[in-house]
Chains A and B, each alone.
Chain A
Amino acid sequence: MAASIAPECNEVKEKYDTCFLKWYSEKYLRGNTSSNDCEELFSKYKTCLNKSLKDKGIDTMIEDARKGNKESDAEHNRRS
């Protein structure tokens, strides 16, 4: 599995990824879309990741990217 940008989150990410793959292939793809087996692991992983993204200042960059992209798309759509 791919490594996390935050090495300290690798372990919980690994657990989450494994859980997701199992859920995705065995449940979601077979039509069971209401289950959320990995919610708890995802929440733990996100807590760890968000802290690191914040420390690195990437959280605001992600927000900016989303905002900026929306703006530029709107701009582009007006022109064409």
Chain B
Amino acid sequence: MKFFENVYTYDYSFPAVTLAYFLRYPNPYSRHVLTTDVIERHIDPKTHRLHTTRLHLKKSKVPSGILKLLPKGMGGSDSSGQSYILETTIVDAKEGWMETESRNMEWTGILSVVEKQVYQRQLLEGALDNLAGFALDDQTSEQTTVKTTVTFRSRLGQGKLLGWRKTDAIVDHNHDIDDEPAPKKGFFSSLSTAGIQRTIELIGVNRTRDAILKSKQGMNVVLERLRSGGIVGVLEGMRQDREAAFSPEGGPWKRVWLRGNALKDDDDN
């Protein structure tokens, strides 16, 4: 088990940061995110908190460093190059906090990565106590801190490989040369199991350091667009990102942009 922890402060108000969180894909740092869907959303009638569950499809590969540690055939068999991430968020607008959690849904036996974030409104001195006076682009009176904790857990070789369907493959005792599964569980029941788990967890930590930096850069791009152009500005930015990412014509996304533009009438900016 490995942990990664980080605290960061956005120079933007809490409402803006939460809006940016829901709006953060696509951005120039999220080319690996293919799709995002809301699979569940409701307001708790007692607490008035907004609960959201989203499903993200991301381009990803099992890192080559991890592949080298796996018995041959494992890790490469289901190489669609895509992975599903389940994200849950709870927003309490009144108390000024948001909690998020993201998990990988596949390969959890090899490496389960759970990212938790707590966003917290920070009122600066002299700021209005009254939330009714907030503005999405008001960055002088409020900051938002986010504490990120990522947990890495490899259960490789522990017999119970959750999320790993082809359990037969793990009895392979020599990962370098063997093509056929060996009858014994030598490789995984050996003393090196803990070492392999640690190595896999460490590779996960290193990749996450980079991913978290990118996600903050992405959030800041979205927040800056929000500040300078409101929601319309964000949607325009997304359109440009998409054109840059896919085709010079823009294709079906032009339609999206036109529809998004309808918000303009309601925007004060």
Chain A residues near B (Cβ < 8 Å): 1-6, 9-10, 13-18, 20-22, 24-26, 28-31, 33-34, 36, 42, 45-46, 49, 53, 58, 61-62, 64-66, 68-69, 71-72, 76
Residues 36-60 of B contacting A (Cβ, < 8 Å): 36-39, 41, 43, 48, 50, 55, 57
Asked whether B136 is an interface residue with its Cβ less than 8 Å from the other chain, the reply is yes
- Any chain A CB within 8 A of the CB of B62? no
Q: Are A13 and B48 in contact (CB under 8 A)?
A: no
* B188, CB-defined interface residue at 8 Å: no
- Bound together, the chains give a CA A36 to CA B44 distance in angstroms of 12
How many residue pairs, one in A and one in B, have C-beta atoms under 8 Å apart?
Answer: 117
Asked if residues A62 and B93 are in contact (CB atoms below 8 Å), the reply is no
Cβ A2 vs Cβ B33 within 8 A: yes
User: B132 touching A68 by the CB < 8 A rule?
Assistant: no
CB-CB < 8 A to B86: which residues of A?
62, 65-66
How close is A20's CB to chain B, nearest CB, in angstroms? 8
B105 located at the interface, meaning its Cβ lies under 8 Å from any Cβ of chain A in the complex: yes
Minimum Cβ distance to chain A for residue B80 (Å): 12
Report the stretch among B19-27, B69-77, B139-147, B202-210 that lies at the interface: B19-27
B163 touches A42 (CB 8 A): no
List 7 A-B pairs, minimum CB-CB distance, nearest first: A2-B36, A33-B48, A65-B105, A5-B35, A2-B25, A29-B15, A68-B162
User: Once the chains bind, are A14 and B259 in contact (CB under 8 Å)?
Assistant: yes
Contact of B108 among A10, A26, A45, A68 (CB under 8 A): A68
Known contacts A16-B38, A29-B134, A72-B112: does B22 contact A24 (CB below 8 Å)? Answer: yes
